[in-house]
C-alpha cells in the first residue's frame, strides 16, 4: 500500500512555523531591497528549481568493505518511487527520478510509467550499466565494455545502451547517461588511443539510435574501478568525445569524479562556453568518489559552480540547458533525509548565486579589483536564504521544515513494517 506524507500533517506543521518564517522572510526582503533585489522575483525562481533523485540513492549505500542496510529499505523500483514521492511531497523540488538499468529493470515498463504517473513523478536521465556482469551475460566486462578489445563485448554493451533508450522512451525520459569504468591497472596494459577509438566507435553506434529530441550525456571519472588509466578520465576526454559524436552529445559533471582541489567551476565555464554542458551529478567528497551529501563539505565550491550557471543564464548563453541531479551514497543516514537535505543544499547554492550583483562584479573584474570582486561573491554566499527556500516549499504545498515533518510522519517506521528487512549486508555501493 503506497504511503505518502499526509498533506494535513504538512499543513499542521507549517501553521506552527509560518509566523516565524514570515518574520524572517520580511526581514530578508528588507535587506535585499536595500540591494535593489525584489525577494519575490528570487522566490519565484526558487520555486522553479528542480533536481532529480537517483533511484539507487533511496537505498542504503555501502563501500567495497560492507553495506549496513537500514530499516524499510526499498526492495525494487516501485518502492524507490514511493520514497522519491515522499521526498518530493516535502521538498517540492524533486519531481524527477533517474533510474539505473538493469538495477531498476521491470517486465512491464508501461505499468512502471503508470505507477510513476500516479505518484506525480517524471523520469530523468536513464543510466546504463556496463560496469558489472549480469547473471546471464555472455561476454564479461572485466576488461571493459564500450572500449573492450573484444568486438563481441563491445556489441553487447552497445546493445544494452540501445535497449536503455527503448525503455526510456516508454518512461518519457529524454536523456541517456553513459558512465563506463573502462580503463587499466597497469602501465602498458592498454593502448590509450586505440581504447579511445574503440570507445568512440561504440558510442557512435549508440548515438545513431538516439531519438532527435534526446541527449547523450557522457560522464568522466578520474579513477575507480580502474586504478592506472580510465578511458574517459577527465573533462578533456569527455568534451573531445562529445564533440566527435555530435550536437546531441554533451558532458556530465559528477563533482566527486575529480582529483581534490580541481577547479570544477572553471571546467563548468568551459563546457558552457562550448555548449557542451549536459548536466551534473551533485555530491561532495574529501578524498575520492565518496558520494557524500551535496554541500556537506564544500558549500562554497557548490556556490561557485552555480555562480557560473547563473552567469550563463544572466548572459542568455546559447545552448545552455543543463540537467541537475544528485548522485550520492547514503551509508550512515536515512537516505530520504539525506536526499531532502541535499536537494535543499543545491537549491540554496542556486538561490544564493541569484543574489550576486553581476554588473558590479563585471566592473570589478574589468578593473582588476580582485578584493571587491571576491567580496561581491561572498556577500551573496553569506546571505542566509533559508526563508526563501522555506517559503518556496510552503507555497508549493511542501514543508517549511521537511526533515522535522518527515520525522513527525514516522514514514520510515511505517514502511519498515511493510518491507521485511532485505538483510544481505554484503558490500558495494548499492
Q: Which residues contact Mn ion by CB under 5 A? A: 254, 281, 327
Q: Which is nearer to ligand LRH, 177 or 313 (CB)?
A: 177
CB 125 within 8 A of CB 82: no
Q: Which is nearer to ligand LRH, 160 or 221 (CB)?
A: 221
| Shortest distance (Å) from residue 327 CB to ligand LRH | 5
CB 187 within 8 A of CB 151: no
Q: Which is nearer to Mn ion, 281 or 348 (CB)?
A: 281
Binding site residues, ligand LRH, CB under 6 A = 56, 127, 179, 219, 221, 254, 281, 289, 327
Q: Which is nearer to Mn ion, 233 or 383 (CB)?
A: 233
Sheet holding 96-98, edge to edge: 53-54, 96-98, 122-123
Provide the 3-class DSSP secondary structure of residue 184: strand
Chain position whose Cβ is nearest to ligand LRH:
179
CB 250 within 8 A of CB 215: yes
Partner from ligand LRH, Mn ion, none binding residue 221, C-beta < 5-8 Å depending on class: ligand LRH
Q: Which is nearer to ligand LRH, 57 or 402 (CB)?
A: 57
| Shortest distance (Å) from residue 219 CB to ligand LRH | 5
| Shortest distance (Å) from residue 56 CB to Mn ion | 10
| Shortest distance (Å) from residue 177 CB to Mn ion | 8
| Shortest distance (Å) from residue 219 CB to Mn ion | 6
Partner from Mn ion, ligand LRH, none binding residue 330, C-beta < 5-8 Å depending on class: none
Query: Which residues sit opposite 97 in a β-bridge?
Result: 53, 123
| Shortest distance (Å) from residue 231 CB to Mn ion | 16
| Shortest distance (Å) from residue 257 CB to ligand LRH | 7
Nearest Cα neighbor of 126 from 85, 87, 162 is 162
Partner from ligand LRH, Mn ion, none binding residue 283, C-beta < 5-8 Å depending on class: none
Q: Which is nearer to Mn ion, 253 or 389 (CB)?
A: 253
DSSP 61: P
Distance from first CA to last CA of the chain, Å, rounded?
24
Distance from C-alpha of 399 to C-alpha of 287, rounded to nearest angstrom? 34
Backbone angles phi, psi at 208, to 5 degrees: -65, -20
**Residue 266: in which H helix or E strand, if any?**
helix 264-273
Q: Which is nearer to Mn ion, 95 or 327 (CB)?
A: 327
Partner from Mn ion, ligand LRH, none binding residue 182, C-beta < 5-8 Å depending on class: none
Could you tell me how far CA 102 lies from the centroid of its own chain? 19
Extract the C-alpha cell encoding 30: 528588507
Partner from ligand LRH, Mn ion, none binding residue 127, C-beta < 5-8 Å depending on class: ligand LRH
Cα dist from 108 to 105, 112, 137, 167, 364, whole Å? 9, 7, 21, 10, 58
CB 90 within 8 A of CB 398: yes
Amino acid at each position: 500500500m503506497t504511503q505518502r506524507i499526509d498533506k494535513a500533517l504538512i499543513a499542521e506543521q507549517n501553521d506552527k512555523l509560518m509566523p516565524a518564517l514570515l518574520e524572517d522572510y520580511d526581514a530578508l526582503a528588507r535587506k535585499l531591497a536595500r540591494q535593489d533585489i525584489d525577494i519575490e522575483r528570487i522566490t519565484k525562481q526558487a520555486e522553479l528549481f528542480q533536481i532529480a533523485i537517483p533511484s539507487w540513492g533511496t537505498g542504503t549505500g555501502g563501500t567495497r568493505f560492507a553495506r549496513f542496510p537500514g530499516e524499510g529499505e526499498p526492495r525494487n523500483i516501485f518502492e524507490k518511487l514511493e520514497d522519491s514521492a515522499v521526498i518530493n511531497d516535502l521538498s517540492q523540488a524533486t519531481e524527477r527520478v533517474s533510474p539505473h538499468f538493469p538495477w531498476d529493470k521491470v517486465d512491464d515498463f508501461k505499468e512502471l510509467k503508470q505507477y510513476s504517473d500516479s505518484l506525480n513523478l517524471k523520469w530523468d536521465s536513464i543510466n546504463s550499466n556496463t560496469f558489472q556482469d549480469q547473471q546471464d551475460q555472455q561476454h564479461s566486462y572485466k576488461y571493459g565494455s564500450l572500449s573492450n578489445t573484444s568486438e563481441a563485448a563491445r556489441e553487447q554493451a552497445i546493445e544494452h545502451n540501445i535497449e536503455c533508450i527503448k525503455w526510456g522512451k516508454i518512461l518519457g525520459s529524454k536523456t541517456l547517461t553513459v558512465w563506463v569504468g573502462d580503463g587499466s591497472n597497469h602501465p602498458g596494459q592498454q593502448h590509450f588511443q586505440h581504447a579511445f577509438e574503440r570507445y568512440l566507435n561504440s558510442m557512435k553506434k549508440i548515438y545513431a539510435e538516439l531519438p532527435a529530441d534526446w541527449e547523450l550525456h557522457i560522464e568522466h571519472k578520474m579513477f575507480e574501478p580502474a586504478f592506472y588509466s580510465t578511458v574517459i578520465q577527465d573533462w578533456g576526454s569527455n568534451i573531445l568525445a562529445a564533440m566527435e559524436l555530435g550536437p546531441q552529445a554533451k558532458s556530465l559533471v559528477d563533482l566527486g569524479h575529480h582529483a581534490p582541489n580541481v577547479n570544477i567551476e572553471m571546467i563548468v565555464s568551459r563546457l558552457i562556453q562550448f555548449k557542451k554542458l549536459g548536466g551534473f551529478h551533485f555530491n561532495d567528497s574529501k578524498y575520492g568518489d565518496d558520494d557524500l551529501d551535496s554541500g556537506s563539505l564544500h558549500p562554497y565550491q557548490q556556490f561557485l559552480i552555480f555562480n557560473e550557471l547563473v552567469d550563463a543564464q544572466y548572459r542568455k548563453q546559447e545552448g545552455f540547458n543543463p540537467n541537475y541531479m544528485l548522485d550520492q551514497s547514503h551509508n550512515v543516514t536515512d537516505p530520504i533525509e539525506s536526499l531532502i537535505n541535499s536537494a535543499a543544499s543545491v537549491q540554496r547554492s542556486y538561490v544564493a548565486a541569484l543574489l550576486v550583483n553581476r554588473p558590479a562584479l563585471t566592473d570589478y573584474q574589468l578593473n582588476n579589483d580582485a578584493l571587491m570582486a571576491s567580496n561581491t561573491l561572498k556577500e551573496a554566499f553569506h546571505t542566509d536564504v533559508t526563508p526563501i527556500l522555506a517559503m518556496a516549499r510552503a507555497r508549493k504545498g511542501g514543508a517549511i521544515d521537511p526533515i522535522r515533518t518527515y520525522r513527525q510522519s514516522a514514514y520510515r517506521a511505517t514502511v519498515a513494517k511493510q518491507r521485511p528487512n532485505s538483510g544481505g549486508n554484503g558490500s558495494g555501493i548499492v
